[in-house]
Amino acid sequence: MPDLSGKVAIVTGCASGIGAATLKRLIADGARILGTDIDAAAGAALCEEAGARFAVQDVSDRALWNGVVREAIEAFGRLDILVNNAGIVTGASIGDVDDDTWDRVIAVNLTGTMAGCRAAIAAMKDNPGGASGAIINIASTTAMAPLPTDVGYSASKGAVRVMSKSVATWCAQQGYAIRCNTVIPGATETGILNAAEEVTPGLKAAVAATSPMKRLADPAETAAAIAFLASDECPFMTGAEMLVDGGALSIHPGF
């Protein structure tokens, strides 16, 4: 198991799904956590149960990010890990997406992730003992195999992949030991997939049936990959991507 003892983490979108599983996993590995979510009631309840601190946050509100980072540092003295996990789907194709829907999904999934990276790096570079940290951004297999039914979600996740590499290489060039990597989940049994199922009934069963493993992911499996990237196990790994998709993107479409 990765050793995260002594480390301090922020996990966004911690109230549900992959975020909740990640928060629990990082605590089990020894980290102290500030969990954040736009859903105050569910986020606070989850954090209280898990033994984490909680803050209400809309990740798309750039003005809030420095305060969230400051809260983690005031509570725990440093910031080692940021998991940019919060995300939304829209169910809108290029045929019917309206401006507000497009702006919102880009604001949450892409701008929120950028603002998190920016605020975290500004703090991580001043960590006691020198600039250090690990940022894990959550993309999606839709970044490589986009959904015709969700143009904004697919575009936002594609942009998160590329942005993470820019963040990673800039930090490396500054001489900071701050890594930025991307986890790319496939279909995972969470609230977001249930929302997608409402737009496209039968989606979950269809995705599971075409997956090489014939099933959806458990959020704890994605959290395990995040915990590895959050740890010091491989300090040379930055700008990298970890697929947690049960092999879904690794098979010829004819099979």
The contact set with ligand NAD (CB under 6 A) reads: 12-13, 15-19, 37-39, 57-60, 85-88, 108, 138, 140, 185, 187-188, 190-193
Token reading at 197: 């199922």
Q: Which is nearer to ligand NAD, 69 or 88 (CB)?
A: 88
| Shortest CB 87 distance to ligand NAD, Å | 2
Question: Which residues are within 8 A (CB) of 67 and not within 5 positions of it... i.e. 6 or more apart?
Answer: none
Q: Which is nearer to ligand NAD, 127 or 153 (CB)?
A: 153
H-helix or E-strand spanning residue 209: helix 203-210
For 42-51, which contacts have Cβ atoms below 8 Å and span 24 or more sequence positions? 42/15, 42/16, 43/14, 43/15, 46/14, 46/15, 46/16, 46/20, 47/14, 47/23, 50/23, 50/24, 51/27
| Element at 122 (helix H, strand E) | helix 112-124
Instruction: Identify whether 153 is a catalytic site residue.
Output: yes
The CB-side HSE value for 196 (13 A sphere, CA atoms) comes to 24
CA-nearest of 216, 159, 156 to 185 is: 216
**Please, what is the minimum distance in Å from the beta carbon of residue 41 to ligand NAD?**
10
Q: Where are the beta strands (DSSP E) in 96-174?
A: 132-138
- Give min distance, CB of 143 to ligand NAD, in A: 9
CA 127 to chain centre: 22
Q: Which is nearer to ligand NAD, 92 or 192 (CB)?
A: 192
- Nearest approach in angstroms of CB 191 to ligand NAD is 3
As to burial, measured by CB atoms within 10 angstroms (0-12 exposed, 13-18 middle, 19+ buried), residue 121 is buried
Query: Which residue lies nearer to ligand NAD by CB, 133 or 246?
Result: 246
With residue 154 as reference, give the H or E element that holds it. Answer: helix 151-174
Compute the least distance from the CB of residue 103 to ligand NAD, in Å: 13
* For ligand NAD, the closer CB: 105 or 134: 105
Active-site residue, from 54, 65, 153, 228: 153
Catalytic residues: 153
